[in-house]
């Protein structure tokens, strides 16, 4: 025995691992992709912060430099006098970024903070002239700072020389390139400029982005443009760099999801083998919920509801096992056992009371294939039960395969069974296709009955469903009636039949038989011959009665 189980278990384990692996690779790649996206977004945010800090710093430096130039212009010292030169020197030492202050007249440098010039050097033409009248000269050679090209800010007859790198400030992390541009796109200063960057293209951009494998941020303020850039890490390079992490991720996700899949498979497998054993041991019994004629209070039938009586005596409700039975195909033998049970439980009673009928629930597959019809015929054979006394019901899911359903319903009708659509209003039913199916009854779902008298939004749907059923000439059965006011409302609206706890819960066979007899004593017996009385609901449930207006083929 164990020899048989182990390979099965191993196969399940292997399959779970394979499934988990198949799922975890895309999941891990997705996670790395997401983290790449997050990293890229973070990089751009840092660039934006840097560019903002630089433009702020540049603005501050520029404001203090131009203020100094204006104060110089306002003095009336004799040009290049001692006083004048001393004043320029004071100005220079008071500002840490100023590398020199000079007096220029007629385009020629005359004197500076250090004294007189004697070489008649001419000032270059301004590269930029700002709206406030300050001129900017780039790449100026200064004897004060011979190792760098400085920037000269000129106003009136004075010029202040500034180290361009100091204009950009210190808030720049290593690896980030920063460029300062004037309004017209002229490059004023740069830090770690990447030669591959097309400055003019980036200058036309806004905000942050990626261009030619470079992440950038562009900010503008007071006539300055600052561009901060950093090489972007491509996705492939990122994945390569993160491949150890990726591998771990795959391993962890595979292990976790594999265990979950394995556990679920095992659980389903054991639930399935338990259910299969229940089918083999015929552990299914049927309870019967009485169906009441609202106008007279008579019991005219019952719905057969399957129960699984486990060996320990506990009773499982269909919701706990029907879904698994449907997906595994075990529903077929279960339907067969329900049919056998119904015949076994109620044979005598059905023969003795011809107006009585039992409805059997069928799954979607039963309805589309009609497989159960010969099983039902064989079960009824020699019992004396009329096919008219057995009604078939299926939910709207059963009618998705419209053609298959039509074939089954036509055949069921030919044999004599009535048919009902269950849980009406909860699926996708449309009038159009309902009209084309040979149905006898429509069961209004409990969720609609619940809304009666509650003022809920869907309560307005209930009268429409009733009207629709009437248009289609279908008999209406209201499900889940729990209160008298619901029964009264439905009766007033012309709903013929109802079932629900107001009348009785699903009862074991003996309980149903007792209920029926009591009811018969109290309200009298329903008319005996089903087909004889076309206006009685019980007779309309039988297949011989007209269903939808004759639009179906
Ligand atoms: P359904 O066909 O809509 O059956 C009605 C369900 O509502 C039953 O639950 C019944 O016990 C419950 N019910 C009836 N009146 C009331 C009421 O007044 N209040 C409340 N709260 N509930 C009420 P059950 O027996 O658990 O059946 C659940 C579902 O299982 C059924 O819904 C049906 O779709 C399915 N089912 C039951 N027996 C079979 C069967 O033999 N074969 C198949 N394929 N499905 C079945
Ligand atoms: Ca039902
Ligand atoms: Ca139902």
Closest by CA position to 173, among listed 223, 217, 207: 217
pLDDT at site 457: 57
Same domain assignment for residues 68 and 150:
yes
How many CA atoms within 13 Å lie on the side-chain side of 359? Answer: 28
pLDDT level of residue 393 (50, 70, 90 thresholds): very high
Is residue 145's pLDDT more than 80?
Answer: no
Compute the average pLDDT of residues 414-424.
93
Same domain assignment for residues 157 and 203:
yes
More confident residue, 19 or 104: 104
pLDDT at site 547: 42
433 close to 412: Cβ distance less than 8 angstroms? no
The answer to whether residue 187 is domain-embedded is yes
Angle between helices 82-94 and 2-73 (to 10 degrees): 170
Residue with the nearest Cα to atom 38 of ligand 1? 305
Q: Which ligand 1 atom is nearest residue 499's CA?
A: 15
- Its domain, for residue 373, covers 282-523
The answer to whether residue 538 is domain-embedded is no
pLDDT at site 357: 96
pLDDT at site 468: 85
Phi/psi of residue 228, each to 5°? -115, 135
Phi/psi of residue 264, each to 5°? -65, -45
Helix (H), strand (E) at residue 158: strand 158-162
Nearest ligand to residue 306 Cα: 1
Angle between helices 318-328 and 331-352 (to 10 degrees): 120
246 close to 28: Cβ distance less than 8 angstroms? yes
**CA separation for the pair 107, 98 (Å, rounded):** 21
Closest by CA position to 249, among listed 45, 5, 62, 26: 26
pLDDT at site 396: 84
The set of protein residues with a Cβ atom below 6 angstroms from ligand 1 is 289, 305-306, 317-319, 322, 331, 335, 338, 361-363, 422-423, 479-480, 482, 499-501, 506
Angle between helices 243-280 and 2-73 (to 10 degrees): 140
Same domain assignment for residues 33 and 94:
yes
Is residue 551's pLDDT more than 60?
Answer: no
Phi/psi of residue 545, each to 5°? -75, 150
Same domain assignment for residues 182 and 53:
yes
**CA separation for the pair 416, 210 (Å, rounded):** 74
Residue with the nearest Cα to atom 45 of ligand 1? 361
User: If 0-12 CB within 10 Å is exposed, 13-18 middle and 19+ buried, where does residue 533 land?
Assistant: middle
Task: State whether residue 417 is helix, strand or coil.
Answer: coil
Give distance in angstroms: CA of 447 to centre of ligand 3.
10
155 close to 136: Cβ distance less than 8 angstroms? no
**CA separation for the pair 153, 137 (Å, rounded):** 7
Compute the average pLDDT of residues 382-404.
91
Strands 441-444 and 475-478: parallel
Compute the average pLDDT of residues 217-233.
91
More confident residue, 40 or 461: 40
Same domain assignment for residues 327 and 198:
no
Give distance in angstroms: CA of 172 to centre of ligand 2.
74
**CA separation for the pair 193, 188 (Å, rounded):** 12
Same domain assignment for residues 240 and 287:
no
Same domain assignment for residues 42 and 122:
yes
Tokens of 311: 């060996």
pLDDT at site 543: 59
Q: b vs e for 94-125, b when ≥16 Cβ sit within 10 Å of the residue's Cβ?
A: ebebbbbbbbbeeeebbbbbeeebeeeeebee
Following DSSP, what letter does each residue of 20-77 receive, concatenated? Answer: HHHHHHHHHHHHHHHHHHHHHHHHHHHHHHHHHHHHHHHHHHHHHHHHHHHHHHT--P
Give distance in angstroms: CA of 360 to centre of ligand 1.
11
Place of tokens 């709903």: 495
The answer to whether residue 258 is domain-embedded is no
The answer to whether residue 393 is domain-embedded is yes
Across 375-384, 458-467, 542-551, the highest mean pLDDT is recorded for: 375-384
In sequence order, the β-bridge partners of residue 392 are: 360, 419
pLDDT at site 546: 42
Provide the mean pLDDT of the chain: 87
Is residue 528's pLDDT more than 60?
Answer: no
Residue 34: count of CB within 10 angstroms of its CB = 10
Taking the whole predicted model, whether its pTM rises above 0.75 is answered as no
With the most atoms of ligand 1 within 8 angstroms of its CB, the residue from 279, 307, 309, 318 to mutate is 318
**CA separation for the pair 115, 82 (Å, rounded):** 8
126 close to 113: Cβ distance less than 8 angstroms? no
Closest by CA position to 393, among listed 377, 409, 415: 409
Is residue 165's pLDDT more than 90?
Answer: no
Pure H helices in 74-183: 82-94, 164-168
Helix (H), strand (E) at residue 456: none
- Kindly give, in sequence order, each residue whose CB lies less than 8 Å from that of residue 426, ignoring residues fewer than 6 positions away: 395, 396, 445, 447
Compute the average pLDDT of residues 404-418.
95
* Residue positions counted in the chain: 553
Same domain assignment for residues 324 and 407:
yes
Same domain assignment for residues 200 and 293:
no
For the CA atoms of 201, 207, 211, 215, what is the dihedral angle to 10 degrees?
130
- Kindly give, in sequence order, each residue whose CB lies less than 8 Å from that of residue 63, ignoring residues fewer than 6 positions away: none
Q: Which ligand 1 atom is nearest residue 506's CA?
A: 11
Task: State whether residue 191 is helix, strand or coil.
Answer: strand
pLDDT level of residue 462 (50, 70, 90 thresholds): confident
Phi/psi of residue 118, each to 5°? -120, 5
- pLDDT tens across 29-63, in order? 788 888 888 888 999 999 999 999 999 999 999 99
Compute the average pLDDT of residues 362-373.
94
- pLDDT tens across 111-139, in order? 988 888 877 788 888 999 999 999 999 88
Task: State whether residue 323 is helix, strand or coil.
Answer: helix
pLDDT at site 524: 83
- pLDDT tens across 308-329, in order? 999 899 999 999 999 999 999 9
219 close to 202: Cβ distance less than 8 angstroms? no
Same domain assignment for residues 290 and 182:
no
- pLDDT tens across 255-305, in order? 888 888 888 878 777 889 999 999 999 999 999 999 999 999 999 999 999
Nearest ligand to residue 426 Cα: 3
Same domain assignment for residues 239 and 307:
no
The answer to whether residue 13 is domain-embedded is no
Q: Which ligand 1 atom is nearest residue 338's CA?
A: 41
Total domain count for the chain?
Answer: 2
The answer to whether residue 443 is domain-embedded is yes
Give distance in angstroms: CA of 542 to centre of ligand 1.
22
Closest by CA position to 125, among listed 135, 112, 133, 111: 135
Residue 308: which CATH number?
A: 3.20.20.450
537 close to 527: Cβ distance less than 8 angstroms? no
Compute the average pLDDT of residues 333-361.
97
Same domain assignment for residues 178 and 117:
yes
Task: Please state the separation of Cα 296 from the chain's center in Å.
Answer: 50
pLDDT level of residue 548 (50, 70, 90 thresholds): very low
Give distance in angstroms: CA of 305 to centre of ligand 1.
6
Tabulate helix, strand, coil % of the chain (nearest 5): 50, 20, 30
pLDDT at site 3: 40
- pLDDT tens across 210-223, in order? 888 899 999 999 88
Tokens of 43: 């990089």
The answer to whether residue 416 is domain-embedded is yes
pLDDT level of residue 148 (50, 70, 90 thresholds): confident
Closest by CA position to 106, among listed 130, 118, 122: 122
* DSSP state at residue 122: B
pLDDT at site 248: 87
Is residue 368's pLDDT more than 90?
Answer: yes
The answer to whether residue 301 is domain-embedded is yes
Q: Compute the Cα dihedral for 533, 538, 542, 547 and give only its sign.
A: positive
Across 236-245, 255-264, 364-373, the highest mean pLDDT is recorded for: 364-373
- Kindly give, in sequence order, each residue whose CB lies less than 8 Å from that of residue 14, ignoring residues fewer than 6 positions away: none
Is residue 203's pLDDT more than 80?
Answer: yes
pLDDT level of residue 538 (50, 70, 90 thresholds): low
């Amino acid at each position: 025995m164990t020899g048989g189980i182990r390979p099965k278990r191993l196969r399940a384990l292997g399959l779970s691992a394979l499934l988990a692996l198949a799922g975890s690779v895309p999941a891990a790649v997705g996670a790395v992709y997401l983290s790449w996206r997050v990293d890229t977004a973070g990089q751009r945010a840092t660039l934006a912060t840097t560019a903002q800090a630089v433009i702020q710093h540049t603005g501050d430096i520029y404001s203090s430099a131009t203020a100094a130039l204006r104060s110089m212009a306002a003095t009336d010292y004799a040009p290049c006098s001692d006083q004048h030169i001393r004043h320029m020197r004071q100005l220079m030492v008071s500002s840490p970024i100023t590398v020199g202050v000079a007096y220029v007249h007629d385009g020629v440098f005359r004197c500076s903070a250090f004294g007189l010039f004697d070489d008649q050097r001419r000032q270059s033409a301004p590269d930029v002239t700002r709206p406030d009248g300050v001129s900017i000269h780039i790449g100026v050679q200064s004897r004060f700072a011979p190792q760098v090209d400085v920037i000269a800010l000129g106003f009136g007859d004075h010029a202040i020389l500034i180290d361009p790198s100091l204009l950009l400030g210190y808030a720049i992390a290593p690896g980030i390139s920063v460029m300062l541009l004037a309004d017209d796109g002229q490059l004023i200063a740069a830090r770690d400029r990447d030669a591959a960057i097309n400055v003019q293209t980036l200058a036309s951009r806004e905000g942050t982005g990626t261009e030619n494998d470079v992440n950038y941020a562009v900010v503008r303020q007071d006539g300055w443009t600052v561009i901060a850039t950093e090489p972007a890490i491509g996705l492939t390079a990122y994945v390569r760099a993160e491949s150890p992490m990726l591998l771990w991720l795959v391993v962890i996700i595979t292990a976790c999801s594999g265990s979950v899949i394995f556990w679920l498979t095992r659980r389903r497998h054991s639930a399935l083998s338990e259910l299969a054993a229940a089918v083999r041991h015929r552990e299914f019994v049927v309870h019967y919920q009485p169906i009441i004629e609202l106008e007279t209070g008579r019991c005219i039938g019952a719905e057969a509801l399957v129960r699984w009586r486990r060996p320990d005596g506990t009773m499982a409700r269909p919701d706990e096992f029907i879904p698994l039975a449907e997906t595994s195909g075990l529903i077929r033998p279960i339907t067969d056992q329900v049919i056998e049970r119904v015949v076994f439980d109620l044979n005598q009673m059905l023969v003795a009371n011809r107006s009585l009928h039992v409805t059997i629930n069928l799954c979607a597959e039963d309805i589309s294939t009609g497989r159960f019809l010969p099983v039902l015929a064989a079960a009824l054979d020699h019992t004396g039960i009329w096919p008219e006394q057995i009604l078939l019901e299926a939910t709207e899911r059963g009618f998705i395969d419209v053609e298959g359903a039509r074939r089954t319903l036509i055949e069921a009708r030919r044999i004599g069974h009535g048919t009902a659509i269950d849980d009406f209003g909860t699926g996708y039913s449309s009038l159009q296709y309902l009209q084309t199916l040979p149905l006898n009854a429509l069961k209004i779902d409990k969720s609609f009955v619940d809304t009666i008298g509650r003022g809920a939004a869907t309560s307005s749907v209930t009268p429409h469903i009733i009207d629709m059923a009437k248009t289609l000439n279908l008999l209406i059965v209201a499900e889940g009636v729990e209160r008298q006011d619901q029964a009264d409302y439905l009766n007033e609206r012309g709903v013929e039949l109802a079932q629900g706890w107001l009348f009785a819960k699903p009862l074991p066979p003996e309980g149903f038989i007792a209920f029926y007899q009591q009811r018969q004593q109290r309200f009298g017996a329903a008319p005996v011959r089903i087909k004889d009385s076309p206006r009685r609901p019980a007779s309309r449930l039988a297949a011989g009665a007209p269903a939808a207006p004759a639009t179906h083929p």
